[in-house]
């Protein structure tokens, strides 16, 4: 079965939990292969890797992450996992010779990530280069045009705003149509940063506004994104109340006649609705987790229906 969608996540706690719960509930289609850039060799990350191995579901893990200091695991459990067919060793590279670092991994499937500012000449008759999965930033116009064999386009589809309150003026936005056109564009797959965006920060803060971001398929199967924003945004007090305001708008949309349940319903949206009914607030990390789960679930279902079993 062809792997098509490679969501790029940063390996923070709630992103890992999102993957773990999707896998446990059999809601992660086999065409969806997460790419993890770890920020910490945590027990949660190790548990997720073990679960993917047990399920036989592919996952790519970057061995030389850039966003945070990181020492890879060095224990018997993970070293054994790295020899499993479900584990795709992945590295950032700056030149083709960097591929040699992947030779130590026995898995024949390997991946490289090429950032927008990387430049090098295309190698000719190089088996290692031809066989490796190449995740290339779409901003790297030179390599994205010239690279061949197993190329995956990495696009930052999430239009990040400086403040959560700014999303209130852009309630409904275009997100992506790469899932419709990646093959005709010559790619083997497509990738994005889900509803998180490429910008990384390891610092938490109390927001003045709460925003919940939910993607959905429109009538033409383009992916769009809704931003549900709180109203009482003058200070940082009462995050639970702000969340309830944003959640109320999400649930009203979910229960409206405009919502296409066949295309866009998910276990995550049902969980959001239940939270609203119960007046439950468990922290903004839960909202982030559910937003990611919703995206990956409906994208997997779309790919399953479009490309068959």
**What does the pLDDT look like over 238-273, one tens digit per residue?**
999 999 999 999 999 999 999 999 999 999 999 999
Q: Is 191 helix (H, G, I), strand (E, B) or coil?
A: strand
Rounded-to-integer distance, Cα 309 and Cα 307, Å: 7
Looking at residues 192-207, what average pLDDT do you find?
Answer: 85
Which of the residue ranges 12-16, 100-104, 185-189, 195-199 would you say has the lowest mean pLDDT?
100-104
Asked if the model's pLDDT at residue 90 lies above 80, the reply is yes
Rounded-to-integer distance, Cα 211 and Cα 164, Å: 6
Specify the pLDDT at position 72: 67
CB 139 within 8 A of CB 121: no
Asked if the model's pLDDT at residue 71 lies above 80, the reply is no
Please report which confidence band the pLDDT of residue 73 belongs to, taking 50, 70 and 90 as the band edges. low
The full set of domain ranges for the chain reads 8-307
In percent, how much of the chain has pLDDT > 90?
79
Rounded-to-integer distance, Cα 238 and Cα 80, Å: 47
Query: CA of 5: how far to CAs of 125, 144, 304, in Å?
Result: 28, 17, 11
Specify the pLDDT at position 74: 67
Query: CA of 163: how far to CAs of 102, 243, 246, 267, 279, in Å?
Result: 40, 15, 15, 28, 25
CB 120 within 8 A of CB 96: yes
Looking at residues 194-220, what average pLDDT do you find?
Answer: 90
Rounded-to-integer distance, Cα 108 and Cα 133, Å: 11
Q: What is the DSSP letter of 198?
A: S
CB 217 within 8 A of CB 260: yes
CB 161 within 8 A of CB 167: yes
- The sheet carrying 189-192 orders its strands as 8-9, 35-36, 59-62, 87-92, 111-114, 133-137, 151-155, 189-192
pTM across the whole model: 0.95
Contacts of 259 (CB under 8 A, 6+ apart): 216, 253
Asked if the model's pLDDT at residue 76 lies above 80, the reply is no
Looking at residues 81-98, what average pLDDT do you find?
Answer: 89
Rounded-to-integer distance, Cα 141 and Cα 116, Å: 8
């Amino acid at each position: 079965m062809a792997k098509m969608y490679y969501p790029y996540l940063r390996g923070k706690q709630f992103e890992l939990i999102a993957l773990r719960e999707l896998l446990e509930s059999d809601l992660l289609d086999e065409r969806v292969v997460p790419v993890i850039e770890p920020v910490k060799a945590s027990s949660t990350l190790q548990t997720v890797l073990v679960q993917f191995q047990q399920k036989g579901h592919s996952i790519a893990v970057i061995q030389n992450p850039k966003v945070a200091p990181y020492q890879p695991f060095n224990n018997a459990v993970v070293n054994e996992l790295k020899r499993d067919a479900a584990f795709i060793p992945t590295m950032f590279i700056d030149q083709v010779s960097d591929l040699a670092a992947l030779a130590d991994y026995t898995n024949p499937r390997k991946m490289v990530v090429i950032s927008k500012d990387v430049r090098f000449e295309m190698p000719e008759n190089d088996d290692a280069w031809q066989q490796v999965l190449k995740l290339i930033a779409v901003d790297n116009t030179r390599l994205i045009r010239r690279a061949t064999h197993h190329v995956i386009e990495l696009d930052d589809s999430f239009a990040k705003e400086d403040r959560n309150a700014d999303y209130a003026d852009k309630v409904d936005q275009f997100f992506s149509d790469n899932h419709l056109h990646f093959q005709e564009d010559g790619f083997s797959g497509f990738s994005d940063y889900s509803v998180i965006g490429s910008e990384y920060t390891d610092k938490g803060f109390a927001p003045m506004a709460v925003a919940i971001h939910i993607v959905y398929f429109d009538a033409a199967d383009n992916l769009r994104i809704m931003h549900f924003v709180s109203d009482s945004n003058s200070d940082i007090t009462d995050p639970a109340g702000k969340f309830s305001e944003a959640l109320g708008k999400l649930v009203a949309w979910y229960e409206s006649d405009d919502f296409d349940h066949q295309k866009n319903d998910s276990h995550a949206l049902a969980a959001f609705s239940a939270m609203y009914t119960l007046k439950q607030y468990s922290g903004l990390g839960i909202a982030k987790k559910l937003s990611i789960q919703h995206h990956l679930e409906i994208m997997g279902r779309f790919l399953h229906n479009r490309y068959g079993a």
